[in-house]
Amino acid sequence: LMKGDTTASIEQFYSLMKLRRVDSDEIIGYSNNLMVFGNKDLARQFLTNILRSDPARTEIRNRLSEMH
């Protein structure tokens, strides 16, 4: 993210999620970094995509509602 390539960074994070279970705190932390280095819309879309793949993540749902 620090290099400004948010697309590559998001793809790397998704790859990490395929390798291991990533907890909600780590996902929320990453989305917070997306807001800093990318933009809020990108962070919202990222969390929305996570919720589509795993709707049971209450913490993600709560964070997403805080962002609106």
Q: Considering the domain boundaries, does residue 41 fall inside one?
A: yes
Domain holding 63, by residue range, is: 6-67
Q: Considering the domain boundaries, does residue 38 fall inside one?
A: yes
Q: Considering the domain boundaries, does residue 1 fall inside one?
A: no
Spell 33-64 as b/e; 16+ CB within 10 A means b: bbeebbeeebbbebbeebbeeeeebeebbebb
How confident is the model at residue 2, as a pLDDT? Answer: 66
How confident is the model at residue 25, as a pLDDT? Answer: 97
How confident is the model at residue 4, as a pLDDT? Answer: 75
Q: Considering the domain boundaries, does residue 40 fall inside one?
A: yes
Q: Considering the domain boundaries, does residue 33 fall inside one?
A: yes
The pLDDT averaged over each successive group of 10 residues in the chain (68 residues) is: 82 95 96 92 96 95 93
How confident is the model at residue 60, as a pLDDT? Answer: 97
Number of domains in the chain: 1
Q: Considering the domain boundaries, does residue 44 fall inside one?
A: yes
